[in-house]
Structure 1
């Protein structure tokens, strides 16, 4: 009876045979990267001067298995790890570093009709190839660095704008607090003035907060209480539009008072419809004047 190979051994044999055929098929796609094995050895020796111990050992394993097609090796990570008695993770990391530094180039292959990912082939680069790859890496790093610098500058500008906006907000809030504090203090004085006016009704005393230029214009037409109310409304409208100048306050309020008086005269003579609210009409005049002569002007400047 003829001898038969056991099934498990036969399977292992066929599997290894298939792997050898596949490896041969893959390597047939490549041509020698070095003219001779000696040229490859000398190049690797030159590289070894700059490599760490583990890098040196792995590169030399690739060299030893790059004889059939000079400069190309077809090894699995686990095979290298078992051969050198190190971890597969270490092999992967070192091969990646060698590839990034330009000493080797990892080439992905495809297999089968569906073009699935095949095994990796590692090419030991000639010194000329190494210099070209090294120069490309330098340019890539410089490009990345320049992009990081641009991004950093943009972020710095945004941060600076944020700080400026925050400072402006703090400045406005401080200014508003000062104004409110002064108003509270002046209100106490104003209460004394009002009490004096009530006690001596035939004598008028200017409210402490109202500038003389405004009081003299409004005095013939409105009471001290009305003038004070108009002045507060004017401050609220102007400060809300970032107008803090006393001269601007005087100009704006005098214009509004004079416009209100002219309109009331026209109403009295029947030339204009009756005003429902002096305060609302006064506010409308203020806002229109600020928008035309102050807000738009400041925006253009």
Structure 2
């Protein structure tokens, strides 16, 4: 994949009015939400929390179709190929949209050409964890420790190009740190090795991080987003460290709703309105998962957010010289 700069702008047909080809009013039959992950992923959890209220709001049944594979790319590609009639939608976390295309070879879609952004669902922080025996408890101590041990400290990820890999690379690049990356196949092995002290550092989602901190398996250092996490309100952000290199640092995960390109604008607007109508009632349950809701959340707002997030990870991949994988 050519990772050089390109214009990331959703096509006019994705964001502007597009005449519906079908004569029937939408929705006249059930709507499928393709979640490109197995059950238990943040997108799947968010979707199941919203399934019933969204169904009520649009007056038609929504069903979740889990189509896992290739870190979300397989299910996303299926939606990109589907008819733009509002009956097949993509409910996904950020990976196959914002970061996956930069770290994966031969992605069978171009995000800005093949998808219509509809609404953000939720977003959340990752937590920088240290193994229990590592003598650090603040961001400043983390930086000092790594700089005192160049090339000797290791950090894990849930896979090459995973969000927790890219956030650590962003941190490493900003601070000039020399660390060893240890990619794992999924979250479980990385979390176990952190608890055992076989790796020193790991970024993990807020709920999982809290569980490991409470169990004494790891120490929490800071959260990755600009705002503190509601799951760990007493934990500072990286940006709060006082280090000038981390000023304004804001990196986290998110879940959003997309249609294929050329989804009719009336359908997009109705779905966006439905999401915004039901989110407040689901907010408490989303917070239990370490997730917060979007504030500015029109289709155009969400498209701009996705565009900026994608560009951020493109830059990290480029500067860190991360090679796309098959």
Shorter-chain TM-score above 0.5: no
Structure number with greater CO (CA < 8 Å, separation at least 6) is: 2
TM-score computed with the length of structure 1 as normaliser? 0.19
TM-score normalized with structure 2 length: 0.18
